Amino acid sequence: MPFADPWVYAVAALAVLLTGISKGGFGAGLGALGVPLLALIMSPVQAAAVMLPVLCTMDLIGFRAYFGKWDKGNLRVMLPGACVGIAAGAMGAGFLGDRWIRLVIGALSICFVLVDACSLVGTAQAKPYSAKKGFALSCVSGFASFVAHAGGPPAMIHLLPQRLEKDVMIGTTNAFFLIVNGIKLVPYAWMGQFDLANLRLSLILVPLVPIGVWSGMWLQRHVSVRVFYRISQVSLFIAGAQLIVQASAAP
């Protein structure tokens, strides 16, 4: 039987719960840990294929919960960039390994956290978004999302300095990745990544989705803005470090 090892289900369940908590709005960097965790027990390509249907389910729940709370200006900048990144990923993923992608994203994430941690969330002045920076980071996000569902850190590097309201930031992130992950379904299917074994594991994991998402929603509503952003920064640092470790350990 495929995935007969119970550790596969244990690690996969942890990956889904952490990603769901992130999708629910608590600890924005946690979502980047899903594929790296699964990649410890299966190939990164297979891990990405298993997670994509689960991510789409999470996005639909989060989209309903935060409907209309997104920032239209950010989405107008980010979505075109993400489409460029997805197209580049679909065409070049077979030539450029995900090791270097994870290494660059991890380094950028950690650098951002170290710089941003020098100022307190409550006193730091919000920075207006830059269209050029947002487009460039969204290209990286789309490309990394296609290869390893690791598009969260680049998107957060663009969004966190703006100090958006919690619901607005979560709504913008959910709307962004709902569209991004929906677009990714087409090239993933075309590349034959949705085989029976992968889809079966995805289906087994889907019942955990609302538990993770609702847990994240509850946590973000009961945590102060200062703590919320500190947790987001720590999560982003953990995600970046995990990506670097995984890239360094790859043969």
pLDDT per position as a tens digit, 146-172: 877 878 778 888 888 888 887 898 889
pLDDT per position as a tens digit, 10-63: 888 988 988 888 777 776 666 667 777 787 777 777 888 899 999 999 889 888
Contact by Cβ (8 Å): 48, 198: no
CA proximity to 173, closest of 93, 82, 241, 103: 82
Eight-state DSSP code of residue 125: P
**The two three-digit tokens of residue 125, written as one number:** 């002045």
pLDDT per position as a tens digit, 225-237: 567 667 767 777 8
- What's the rounded Cα separation, in Å, for the pair 142 and 85? 4
pLDDT per position as a tens digit, 74-114: 999 999 999 999 999 888 766 766 677 677 767 767 876 77
Confidence (pLDDT) at 216: 83
* Residue written as token pair 């699964």: 38
Q: What mean pLDDT is predicted for residues 65-70?
A: 87
List, in sequence order, the alpha helices (H) in 117-165. Answer: 131-148, 152-159
Contact by Cβ (8 Å): 161, 32: no
The per-residue b/e assignment along 215-249, b for 16 or more CB within 10 angstroms, e otherwise, is: ebbebbeebeeeebbebbbebbbbbbebbbebbee
Contact by Cβ (8 Å): 141, 85: yes
Read off the pLDDT band of 123 (50, 70, 90). Answer: very low
